[in-house]
Structures are given as C-alpha cells and as structure tokens.
Chains A and B, each alone.
Chain A
Amino acid sequence: MAVDTPPATPAGQAGAQRPPAASRLRLLGSGDAVITFVLVLFLLVAALSVEGFASARNTGFLLLDVVVIVLIALPLTLVIVTGEIDLSVASTVGLSSAVMGQLWFAGLPLETVIPLCLLLGAVLGAVNGFFVTRLGLPSLAVTIGTLALYRGLAFVVLGDRAVADFPRSWTTWAISTIGGTGIPVVVVPLLVLVLVTAVVLHATPVGRSLYAMGNSEDAARFSGIDVGRTKFWLFVVTGVVSALGGVYWTLRYGSARADNAQGLELQVIAAILLGGVSIFGGRGGLLGVLAGALLLGSVRNALQLENVPADVLNIVTGGLLVVAVVAPQVAGWVRSRTRPRPAGPPNAPPARPAPDTRPSTDPAVQVPADQRGNR
C-alpha cells in the first residue's frame, strides 16, 4: 500500500548502515560470552592443577556425565525461555528407566521397549502441558507435583529392584568412544540435536515466538501467536527427550532403577541458568546453556578427582545455581552504578544546543518538523 515515503530518517539510516555482523558481536558480548570465557578459564586452570583432569579417559567420563544433562537442557531451555519450567524431567528419566526395565524383564525386545518409553515420555509431558496450558495452573506447582508423582510411579513399577541384564551390544555402545580420543560416540547425535535446537531457538519463526511469549504473553497473543498450543507441545517434547534421557541413562549404567537420575533436575536447571537463561523467561541463548552444562560438569568432575565427597558436590551445584540467578542482578546493578543511564526517561528530549525559548509566530523562521529531534 502507498504510504508516503519521506527522505530517510535516522532509523532507516541506522538500519542500512549497521553491518549485520554487529548484532552478532553484541550477542557475544552478552551472558553467552561471559560463561564461555569462565568455562575456558576453568578448563585451563583445572588441566594445569588437577591431576588427571586433562587425560583422554577423564574427558570421556566428563562428557558421559554431561550427556544427559545437555540432552534434557535442550527442550527445557525452550520451556524456560517461554517463562515456564518443568521440574519433573528427572522423575520422567526415572519412570522411563523403570518402565524400560520392567518391559525388558517381561521379555519384550529393546526395539519395542524404547519406542514405548518415548511414547510414555510424551504422555507424561502432555499431562504437564495439559495442567499448565488448559487449566492455567502455574508450571512450577504442576511440575513439583509431577516430580513426586512420576518418581512415585517409578517405584510402583519397579520397586527397589534393579534390572541389569541388558544386551551387551547396547550397553557397550552407550559408553563406546570414537577411536582413541576418549570422546563418547553419543556426543555426535547429541551435537546434532544441539544444532537443531539452536537453529529452532535462534533462527526460526518458532524461536522468535518463544522469546516474545516469554517476555509478554499478552503481546504474543495479540501478535497471533498461539501461546497455549506452543507451550503444550514444548512440554510434550520435554517429556519425550527426558524419556530418551532415561533410556540412555539405563544403558549407560547398564541398570534400570526407579531412583535413576534422582535430583538431576537441579543440575539441568543450574546448567541452564548458569548459561545465562533468565528464570523469568524471554532471555538467554543455547550456546550459553551448552557452556553452562560443561562448566557445571567440569567443576563436579574436578572436585571428584580431588576426592571431594558427594555431599559437597551438591553444595557446589546449589551454590552455582544461586550464583546463576543472582549474577545477572548484580551485573545490572553494577552497570547502573558505573555508567550514566543510557537513555534517561523514555520520553526525554535529546540534548542539543538550546534553541530559541519562544516560538516565532513568523512562519518563515519555524523549525522544520524533521529537524526538531526525536520525541
């Protein structure tokens, strides 16, 4: 449609002159870059000071430990970006592990058992999604409930037994490495999933809508985004991926138990928040989450090498979680203290040489509209 097109305004020029790379640089200047820097620094320090940390063998263990955390962090990051949360992920891991054990024990082939477990994950996620999006209940309350419920069901299914006679070919594959590098084979499909999730979050219309609804659900709805449906499917995907995590967990340790991955949700959420994702939604990126998960895994691994007891590891995880939540607030406070306010009040006039105080009534000396600065 024909809207009048006057000469370029500041906005138009800024848009044209600004190289696209600048926005990427700005992105790296954010939380992503900070956490990546901290990760690299920690890896260097740990490699130099912790005996055995840098060995191929330890690298393998470290990566095996973070595989499930990274895996579940992928969909959960999307959930948290929309402003919701799913605390039931680790219980879903436990329940799918228990069901996998029971079904295998009952004689079904793994080729049948695994799809059933993933289907179970979808149902568990759909239950969360239903309560949150259809009934409008807060996801924090709903998934605290299902955290207990799913774990309880896991014990109903398998009791305190363990099923451990899974076929060797599967269990050795789960921990096999690529040549002599110590890098587990599963890292390859995991990286593919990381890439897919990163693209979805950062370079698709769906990703844009997730950030929009995480910042303002109303504005998202008024922009034609189906907030309820999107969130529902995110919960379903989180359920499926958590169940996949349960399957992998079972194979990696060669043991299906109801208490598998108990408390893992804490580590996953800590990794995500450490990676710069805001617990309030609408902020953060996947690169940071990846770095956050690796940092958390590395810290725990290094402490284990130093024979620090397990209780202390939990203290460290919890401490990092608090740091992750508090750090952005502190950073914002420091910024506001050290730098003059960037824009002042939103409607403040621009600073420029003082013009005449009284308007001239002579049309000839009136200031043209487009030279009067922005308002």
Chain B
Amino acid sequence: MGESPRSPAPGAVVLALEDVGKSFGAVAALRGAQLELRAGEAHALVGENGAGKSTLVKVLAGVHGPDTGRVLLDGQPVHLDGPAAARAAGIAVIYQEPTLFPDLSVAENIFMGRQPLGSGRRIDRRELHARCAALFERLGVRLDPERPARGLSIADQQMVEIAKALSFDARVLVMDEPTAALSGVEVERLFTVARALRDGGAAVLFISHRFEEVFDLCDRITVMRDGQWVATEDAADLTVDQVVRLMVGRDVSSLFPKQDVEPGEVVLSVRGLTRRGVFSDVSFDVRAGEIVALAGLVGAGRSEVVRAVFGVDPYDEGSVEVAGRALRPGRPAAAMAAGIALVPEDRRQQGLVMELSVERNATLTRRWQLAKGGLLSSRAERATAAEWSRKLQVKAGRLADPVSTLSGGNQQKVVLAKWLSTEPRVLIVDEPTRGIDVGTKAEVHRLLSQLAADGLAVVMVSSELPEVLGMADRVLVMHEGRLVDDIPRARADEGSVMLAATGQGRTTAVAP
C-alpha cells in the first residue's frame, strides 16, 4: 500500500457531533463525544474496544438517540430519530458484515423499496438494472446487477452496500471495521472506491483496528477512549506509536514480544493432509517452543486445515501425529486427549456458548477431569474458572454472568482459559486477536510468547501481517489450498509473505 494522495483542500464541515452523551442504564457509553467530518476528507475513528466507537456509529446511523449534546448537519441541529432519518440526512453506514437479502438480485437489494416503476406500477427491470450498472460503473466495480446476492463475498457485499449509499446520494459514508474480513487485494479495492468518493466531495468515516490502513487511507484521525473524545489530529502529524498511546493512555512498549526459544522435539506432525476441494497435500511439523504462523489470503484454506487437524472437520487423506502417535481423524475429543487445543476463528459461534456463564464456558473442556465419581460440583467449576480468570486477568463482573456480557477481549481470554486449562502440548490459535483492543492484543501476544517459552508448540493462523511477522518463528504460507512456502523468521517480511500468499513466490511444495 503506497502513500495516498491527500485531498486538495479540506471542505466545509458536513457533520458534527458536539458533546454527545449516551447512557445505557447506569453505564455511560459516550460522555462528551465529539466528531467533525468535512466534505472531501477521509476521517479515521480509532479507540480500543469499548471506547464507544460502535455507539457513536449507532448515533450517526439513527439507531440510538443521544441523551445529551447535538448532532449538526451543515451547521444545523438535526434529530436522527431512526435509520430512515439518518439516510434522508445523507448518512450511510457500511457494516463489517452487510446483511443483504440473499435470494434477491444485487440490483433489487440496492433499490429495495424504491424500484423504478414502469407502466401499471410494475417494476421496470431494465431501468433497475441499468441504474445499478451505472452505479457500479461509477464505483469501478465489476458485478452483475442481475445475480442473486447469495454467494457474494463479504467484499462484494460491502460494494453493494456502498452502491446503495451512492444511490441515496449519501454525503457521509461511515465504514465500521469494513476490512476485518477482507484480503489485501479486496482492501485495496475498497480503498480505491473510498478515495474516489472522498475526492467526489463525500466525507468518509473509517473505523479500523489496523493502523497501516488508517494511515494509508485517512487524512485526519480522531481518537476515543472510555466514551470520550481524546484527540483529533492530521494523520501526517501522528505516528502509530502516538496513536496507540492516545488510545490506551500509556505506552504499549512492544506489541509483539516474541522471545527467542530454542525449539525442542517435534510435537505436531501433519503429513499429506487433503480435503478434496478445500486443501490438498498439506504437510508441516511444529516443534515444542515454536510459534508457527499459518499465513495466506482469506479463503486460502488455513482455518480449514487447523479445523481438520483438531478433528472438527473431516479429511480425506493424510495423517496427523502428536508426539509420534497417530490421531484418529474427525474426533475433537481424541485430539484433546492427545494434547491439542484449538482456539477457533469465530469466538461467538465456535469459541463460546454465549448464553452460558463465564465459569461454565471456562470449564466446558475440563468437565470430565473436574468431576469426582462422575459428579460435577459448581464449587469445583467456580474454583477452576476463578483461578484461570485470575491468571489471564479476565475482567468479568461475576463468573456466573453469561459470557456474552463480557467485552470481546475478555471473551477471547475466556476462550484461552478454557483451552489452556486442558494443559495442551499443541495450542492452535485461529485469528487470536481479531476484533480485540490493542491492550488485550498485547496481553495475548505476551501470553503466547510465554507459553512457547514454556515448551508449548503454537500454531497461529492470522490475517494480520504485523502479528505474523512479529510473533512467528516460521511462517507457513498457504495459497489456494496448498502450502506454498515455509519462511524462517530471518527471511520473513511483508514482501516474501505476500508474494507467496498471492501465489507469486516459490511454488514448489514444501517438504518439512
């Protein structure tokens, strides 16, 4: 990603939030929040999880009405008392995962409720598709207006949402962590579109945890902490370190504190693992004390491989060995008994039972070990859960509360507790820091490094290149279901990993 051209001159202020407060019960999500969006600027909003970014977006989207303060549109106070009002005011919000009607066509999704009508009030399909094609042309996106929305990639779904915003003549485009699930190429395309909109005079508000993207795209940066405005500065005047310090209110000395460890015996050995149509002939070894990253574009098959290793997914050929003992395929319980732990990609669907309490979640993997004579006591569960939430510094109100009441970072710690308490020999973490705040992220990285130093074999699937490069002793790169490269720490940099991930690097199969 190169240096982006800055917009020539900052325009007039389109939208401003003045001293906005919003409370839920006794909890103040926003206190004195401020924001100022100018025409023709890309503006970043950053802050840790829980800083109030999402609440602020919902105020802009008309979902929440502010308790105090004002929303000004072109200098005039407005009441955004519903999503429709926000849309009428020219504010469009693109969420991380758009919700389209899957069985309707792309064009129908964009013009839902406003379809152009022909004679006899019938929908004029030709006009509908023509208008949709015109929108896509403005965006420079190749999409068939007539295809159903089902099966579109998340990136394409976002494009559909942006086209919809365009069709409303939106002047303010809010993008709430749009890049979290996108690959590098898709991010570039999104940014090209966002820049074009900005240059066309729209104000773009961009929310992201990824600093390189923030600095790549945005002209100004607003930092929030604990529901409050902290600072708004020109991006050119800030460094990543400064932004992080503003966000957390302290120095994060090192985000990626991987210690050097002399690797020990091979603990996990994967040979010729194949699942037809998903991945093929994947072989690698992981030694004790080693952190091996599995890098690649979204959809390269990384998560699928680790799921097969853990036994949640089946595989057709190949073998998985833990410390020389072959593992029965397709049986997570067998993998656990052999000492494998998997912290899955999707915390809310796969990692935790959101409705159950913190303690039940933390002890779910250990329920048989905690039972005495086949009986489980709540006391044993609570003691174990308390011990592990202390070790991992989980910030929870009560252990008996549903885990869904915790913040994302603390939820992830519960998932880690749940797996570390099984005392694994191989820890597989799939996107361990996705969507969690900078502070917790550093804690997770420190923890993984420490675990490796204690002799754990760690496999880390990650889409964040800085994380991969900072943490991994070796980087295994996947491309379209195949392992295409094995890059040692010394040789691993953005260039080598991205080349391999896009299929441009060494194409010979990797022999471990």
Contact = CB atoms under 8 A, between A and B. Distances in A.
A212 B386 contact: no
Interface string A209-220: 101100110111
Contacts of A106: none
A236 to B, nearest CB: 20
A354 B367 contact: no
Given A1-B454, A11-B390, A375 B50 contact: yes
A311 B329 CA distance: 55
Nearest to A350: B27
Interface string A15-36: 1101010110010000000000
B49 A10 contact: no
B353 to A, nearest CB: 5
Contact of B354 (A211, A216, A341): A216
A315 interface: no
Interface string B344-387: 10100111111110111001110110110011111100110111
Nearest to A202: B376
B272 interface: no
B406 interface: yes
Contacts of A169: none
A53 B245 CA distance: 74
Contacts of A222: 310, 312, 332, 342, 344, 350-351
Contacts of A20: 378-379, 382
Contact of A204 (B246, B376, B396): B376
A374 B410 contact: yes
B332 A10 contact: no
A145 interface: no
B385 A345 contact: no
A205 B372 CA distance: 10
B187 interface: no
Interface string B153-170: 000000000000000000
B163 to A, nearest CB: 29
Interface stretch (B119-127, B224-232, B314-322): B224-232
Contact of A208 (B24, B367, B386, B392): B367
Interface in A311-352: 340-351
Contacts of B73: none
A283 B402 CA distance: 13
Interface string A341-375: 11111111111001101110101001111101111
B29 interface: yes
B25 A342 contact: yes
Contacts of B400: 18, 22-23, 26
A219 B409 contact: no
Interface string B47-68: 0111110110000000000000
B395 A10 contact: yes
A375 B395 contact: yes
A176 to B, nearest CB: 34
B250 interface: yes
Nearest to A351: B28
Most buried by B among A11, A225, A375: A11
Given A11-B395, A346-B405, A212 B364 contact: yes
B108 interface: no
Given A4-B450, A204-B376, A15 B383 contact: yes
Contact of B439 (A3, A12, A369): A369
B342 A203 contact: no
Interface in B418-439: 418, 420, 423, 437, 439
B397 A10 contact: yes
B32 interface: yes
A205 B363 CA distance: 10
A3 B51 contact: no
A347 B26 contact: no
Contacts, number: 238
B11 interface: no
Contact of B405 (A212, A223, A343, A359): A343
A375 B230 contact: no
A349 B371 contact: no
Nearest to A24: B378
Contacts of A211: 353, 356, 360
Nearest to B422: A224
Nearest to B394: A11
A215 B378 contact: no
Interface residues of B, number: 97
B81 interface: no
Interface in B274-331: 310, 312, 331
A192 interface: no
Contacts of A369: 250, 439
Interface in B111-141: none
Contacts of B349: 216, 218-219
A2 interface: yes
Nearest to B401: A343
Nearest to B231: A358
Interface string B203-227: 0000000000000000000000111
A24 B346 CA distance: 32
A215 B354 contact: yes
Contacts of A224: 332-333, 335-336, 365
A1 B52 contact: no
Interface in A144-201: 199
Nearest to B382: A15
Contacts of A208: 360, 363-364, 367, 376
Contact of A373 (B226, B335, B353): B226
B55 A348 contact: yes
B447 to A, nearest CB: 7
A211 B379 CA distance: 18
A211 B49 CA distance: 30
B376 A205 contact: yes
A10 B396 contact: yes
A346 B437 CA distance: 14
Nearest to B250: A366
A3 B453 CA distance: 11
A5 interface: yes
A15 B399 contact: yes
Given A18-B399, A345-B55, A367-B249, 19 more contacts: A3-B391, A3-B420, A11-B396, A14-B399, A216-B355, A219-B351, A222-B351, A283-B355, A342-B25, A346-B405, A346-B406, A351-B28, A354-B31, A357-B32, A357-B230, A366-B249, A366-B250, A374-B396, A375-B51
The 9 A-B pairs of least Cβ separation, nearest first, read: A344-B24, A15-B386, A340-B25, A12-B390, A374-B395, A205-B367, A344-B27, A375-B50, A11-B389
18 contacts: A12-B386, A18-B398, A203-B375, A204-B376, A205-B374, A208-B376, A219-B351, A221-B350, A283-B355, A340-B26, A342-B405, A346-B404, A346-B408, A348-B27, A348-B50, A350-B27, A355-B226, A375-B437
